[in-house]
Amino acid sequence: MPGIVVVGAQWGDEGKGKATDQLGDRVDYTVRYSGGNNAGHTLVVNGEKYALHLLPSGILSPTSTPVIANGVVIDLDVLFEEIDGLEARGVDTSKLLISANAHLIAPYHKVLDKVTERFLGNRRIGTTGRGIGPAYSDKINRLGIRVQDLFDAPILQQKVEAALEQKNHLLVKVYNRRAIDPAEVADELLAHADRVRPMVTDVVRVLNDALDRDLVVLFEGAQAHHLDVDHGTYPYVTSSNPIAAGACTGAGVGPTRIDRTIGIMKAYTTRVGEGPFPTELLDADGEKLRTDGAEFGTTTGRNRRCGWFDALVVEAAVTANAFTDMFLTKLDILTGWEKIPVCVAYEVNGERTDTLPMTQTDFHHAVPVYEYLDGWTEDISGCRTFDELPRNTQAYVRRLEELVRCRISGIGVGPSREQVVMLNDLL
């Protein structure tokens, strides 16, 4: 089964790196196919913590070739800062491949992202301010700048001028900011051309050739299903398609190339930014989950909003992504609770629904219906088989499996890569 997609089943921060770690040295290519440096992956390898934002997790594997595909938007300053940081720690990044068709985040994208959020006030989306949305907007409006444009300075200059023609009017006349000089932007981008050139290749050809040779290609989704621009809690979403199907357009592989889709779900629920969150806890319980789970954004450092596990949210992701397996993370954080609530339905306008509401309005007004499962007090961080888990812990896992309608093949019981209980092989 050479083509595997890993996707978050909630609102991100589920711990996707935990699942990719279990595939280990059997992965030949690790591919980022969507998003930008608004994503964040925290990995713990040999006791060392690595925070990745733009690079795929395969950058830490000596046997895997890391790939940034065409569906990603790239901030070159961030890319090379991240590469330099890893190289300083002894990580070899020389195998990194970048699609010539990937779009670039220009300085004006970041400026527009931040001023627009401030302008929206209470209607803000809660973006990271990294320029992701404006870069994707330019891509769709056919005003985008791609990696390949770095190798043709006159073309790059023309494209920057075209992109700024309208944006400068907006910055000056609406946002009361100074205009941005196209020549300065072009020079800033061109300064990276020589360094990035050896990494740039025809990623579509590389990946399809690899799949033809039955090599294992792991497609790593940034963010998560419910942040997908088409299928998430719009408009409080990202600007790309992190769902499993997004791997096809974001990396240039056909749907028949995908053999397995793995959904990642946290044992409770978190999200960063604005938007509806039915099981959110605004009390001491929520603060305990945040503290015990170290729920602070890898990219932004913002406090994550915390709440109980929402089976309807995950089941909707299972349906749309056709997950073959689920990986449950941070189960150890729930140790010590006498009773653990799990959302099994909503009440909307006095009526019960067992599936995610169709409209944004209904979802915003959804009131969770909880089922209370028995907790456990035993330390599970040392467990390595399912039978070693306490009886109530096993019951919690099996109940989640029933509710989301997909088998759970792996369980994270601690922050280190070896703190895992595997029920089924992910390959």
State the maximum Cα–Cα separation within the chain, in Å, rounded to a whole number.
67
Amino acid at 312: L
Q: Annotated active-site positions, please?
A: 13, 41
Place of tokens 């070899």: 92
Q: From CA 11, how far away is CA 24, in angstroms rounded?
A: 25
Three-state DSSP state, 107: helix
The alpha helices in 278-371, defined as continuous H runs, are 284-292, 311-321, 360-364
Report which of 31, 22, 88 is spatially closest to residue 59, judged by C-alpha positions: 31
Q: From CA 44, how far away is CA 21, in angstroms rounded?
A: 10
CA distances from 205 to 46, 153, 198, 212, 252 (A): 34, 26, 16, 10, 9
> Are 308 and 369 within 8 A, CB to CB?
no
Can you say whether residue 4 is alpha, beta or left, with left for phi > 0 and alpha for psi between -120 and 50 degrees? Answer: beta
> Are 20 and 26 within 8 A, CB to CB?
no
Three-state DSSP state, 402: helix
> Are 9 and 318 within 8 A, CB to CB?
yes
> Are 333 and 376 within 8 A, CB to CB?
no
Place of tokens 């089922």: 371
Q: Residue length, the chain?
A: 427
> Are 311 and 343 within 8 A, CB to CB?
yes
Place of tokens 């444009």: 149
